[in-house]
């Protein structure tokens, strides 16, 4: 994986500290061409990987990248799914059955009609495959070498003890897309325990890593110990704790955790993108 990954929270009004900033971002990026303009800045500064949700507007970004193959010859997507708001909105508008028909047509819907939701739950892995395949359609023909399970599902499955699902997801991603599965979580120590017990070796895990413990379930010491001692490929997100930590201070801490493989961040101006990239490059320890 690349050392630096570019995220998409800023494009879709996600700010964990400020609703006002989120609203301003929503207005700024209401046109997809404005998203593409920022991606072009990041790409031209040398950030080649876009770690993104499967928001409907990402499909338009994919169309743009596909239509300019020479311009984006080494551009990579790291899709993160499911985009929960999409399904929640659909359920509120057209109900559970309508949502299944829209996003998972075919055998799963027939199963639900024959046996009700209990039957559908028994075939949860099949439903997962249908939904993953539906969301991956927008990335057809593009480089998607890592595909992530979003934390809203990862952590729900952890709580439910549905550990076999992680193995099934990883297998489907590997066999169908010739990619690696990644997992986003708010509880890194617990997820590592489960993945190791399930036989998933050296997994890719993206979690919050910052010096104030922002949204780090289990505490900073448990995260630092896991990163230092355990076998997995860590990606750090929320390194600035949604702006609570100054960039240099935040990145000095994260880059000091030498086994962090990648850092994902989002920004919306050339100045902030360049500043963050330059700091990561400068603070990353060089191999001896």
pLDDT per residue over 26-49, tens digit each? 677 889 999 999 999 999 999 999
Domains identified in the chain, total number: 1
Kindly state whether residue 48 falls inside one of the protein's structural domains: yes
pLDDT in tens, 129-140: 888 998 999 999
Is 144 inside a domain boundary?
yes
Instruction: For residue 203, give every residue at least 6 positions away whose Cβ sits within 8 Å of its Cβ, in sequence order, or none.
Output: 170, 181, 182, 183, 192, 195, 232, 233
Query: Of 183, 113, 192, which is closest to residue 149 (Cα–Cα)?
Result: 183
Are 240 and 272 in contact, with CB atoms under 8 Å apart? no
For the whole model, what pTM was predicted?
A: 0.87
Q: What is the pLDDT of residue 21?
A: 63
Mean pLDDT of all residues in 260-266: 97
Say if 89 falls within a structural domain.
Answer: no
Q: In this structure, is residue 52 part of a structural domain?
A: yes
Of all residues in the chain, the percent with pLDDT exceeding 90 is: 72
Which pLDDT score, from 0 to 100, does residue 130 have? 83
Task: Examine residue 177 and state whether it is found in any structural domain, yes or no.
Answer: yes
Q: What is the mean pLDDT of the chain?
A: 88
Q: What is the pLDDT of residues 192-224, one digit of tens each?
A: 999 999 999 999 999 999 999 999 999 999 999
- pLDDT reported for residue 113: 47
Inside any domain, residue 110? no
Q: What is the CATH number of the domain that holds 74?
A: 3.20.20.100
288 falls within a domain: no
pLDDT over 70, % of the chain: 81
Q: Give the residue numbers spanning the domain of 39.
A: 4-83+125-283
């Amino acid at each position: 994986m690349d050392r630096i990954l570019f995220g998409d929270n800023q494009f879709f009004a996600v700010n964990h500290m400020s609703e006002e900033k989120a609203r301003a971002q929503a207005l700024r990026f209401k046109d997809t061409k404005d998203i593409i303009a920022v991606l072009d800045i990041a790409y031209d500064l040398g950030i080649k990987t876009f770690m993104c949700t499967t928001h409907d507007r990402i499909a338009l970004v994919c169309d743009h990248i596909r239509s300019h193959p020479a311009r984006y010859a080494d551009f990579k997507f790291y899709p993160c799914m499911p985009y929960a708001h999409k399904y929640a909105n659909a359920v509120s508008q057209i109900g559970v059955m309508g949502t299944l028909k829209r996003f998972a047509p075919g055998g799963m819907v027939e199963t639900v009609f024959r046996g009700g939701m209990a039957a559908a739950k028994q075939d949860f892995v099949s439903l997962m495959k249908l939904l993953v395949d539906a969301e991956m359609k927008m990335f057809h023909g593009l480089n998607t070498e890592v595909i992530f399970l979003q934390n809203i599902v990862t952590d729900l499955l952890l709580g439910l003890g549905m550990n076999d699902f992680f193995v099934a997801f990883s297998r489907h991603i590997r066999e169908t897309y010739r990619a690696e599965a990644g997992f986003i979580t708010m509880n890194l120590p617990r997820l590592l325990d489960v993945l190791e017990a399930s036989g998933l070796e050296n997994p890719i895990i993206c979690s919050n890593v910052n010096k104030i413990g922002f949204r780090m379930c289990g505490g900073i010491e448990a995260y630092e110990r896991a990163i230092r001692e355990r076998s997995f490929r860590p990606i750090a997100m929320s390194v600035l704790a949604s702006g609570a930590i100054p960039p240099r201070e935040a990145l000095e801490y994260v880059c000091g955790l030498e086994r962090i493989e990648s850092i994902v961040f989002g920004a919306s101006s050339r100045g902030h993108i360049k500043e963050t990239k330059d700091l990561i490059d400068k603070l990353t320890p060089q191999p001896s």
